[in-house]
Amino acid sequence: MFLDCFVCKGHYYLVLELLNKTLLDFLNERDLKPLHVMKIRPIAAQMLIALEALKRIEMVHTDIKLDNIMFDFCNMHSTLKVKLTDFGCAAKVSDMVDKDKIQVVGYRAPEVILGLPMTEAVDMWSLGAVLGTLFVGRHFYPTVSEYEQLRIIVRMQGLPRDHLLKAGRKARRYFTESHDSSGQKKYSCKAEKKDTKVFISLLKRMLHMDPKIRITPREALGHDFITMKHLKCRKTAL
């Protein structure tokens, strides 16, 4: 929350509310123990509201990660109140065409790695990686290199579609085109409980390889995982 601003010795200062820990701190304090999907839901909902607000003003955060999501709560029984912080790398959507590399490895959207046009959808990918990390208790994608991240993405979600590989300026760094014996080009995650299945459904849409198809904040806010529609008992006539 913005509280005040002032100038001192030619420097501009912003006074913001005091937040005492990041999601990374929180995970480390738990010894990387995964969060239950019920705990992830309020975090996801609040972050999606933040992304929807950014989308309305045509801004992209470009650096969403565990370190840049902070919260504070009075006790362990309180609802986690999450705030998106560190807008030092934020940019207008119209300025994204001039950027070549954004986001840290592990949270970097495939369109950034492949050299495709970038939009606010890159933030949705990063948020998906954050939520996945909370769910498994470790980085959802490798943070060592783009190659390792892309390799795991392909293993988990399959190859990017042909039109993405053809359009990507940097796609040839990671993929070569070949054909199988039939002449065709050669260029999955189940859960038992209904709530977990719905969470994974949202995660897949947030982590869709094609940014044009990737779910938007408004769509995500209406997803069953956020609305809990799948958990609400239907009223029957007596």
What is the three-class DSSP state of 71?
strand
> Which residue in the block uniquely carries the two structure tokens 């783009």?
146
Query: What pLDDT score was predicted for residue 180?
Result: 63
pLDDT of residue 16: 82
- Tell me, what's the pLDDT at 179? 64
Arithmetic mean of pLDDT, 100-128: 96
User: Of the listed 4, 25, 31, 63, which one is catalytic?
Assistant: 63
Q: What is the DSSP letter of 9?
A: T
Mean pLDDT of 156-161: 91
Burial of 25 (0-12, 13-18, 19+ CB in 10 A): middle
DSSP string, 96-146: GGG----S-TTS--HHHHHT----THHHHHHHHHHHHHHHHTS-SS-SS-H
- Cα gap 206→210, rounded to integer Å: 10
- In terms of pTM, does the model score above 0.75? yes
Q: Is-contact 192 99, C-beta < 8 A?
A: no
Work out the mean pLDDT of the chain and round it to a whole number: 88
12 φ, ψ (degrees, to nearest 5): -90, 135
Place of tokens 């501009």: 12
Q: Are 73 and 23 in contact (CB under 8 A)?
A: no
Q: Is 162 labeled as catalytic in the residue annotation?
A: no
Domains of the chain as residue ranges with CATH:
20-177+185-227 (1.10.510.10)
Distances (CA, A) of 114 to 158, 162, 208: 15, 12, 14
- 164 φ, ψ (degrees, to nearest 5): -75, -40
48-87 pLDDT per residue, tens:
999 999 999 999 999 999 999 998 755 445 667 899 999 9
The two beta strands, 11-16 and 2-8, are: antiparallel
Query: What integer pLDDT is reported at residue 181 of this predicted model?
Result: 64
Q: What is the DSSP letter of 85?
A: -
Q: Could you give the 3-state DSSP secondary structure of residue 84?
A: strand
Nearest to 109 by CA among 91, 122, 127: 122
Residue 85 sits at the vertex; the CA angle it makes with 32 and 80, to the nearest 5 degrees, is 50
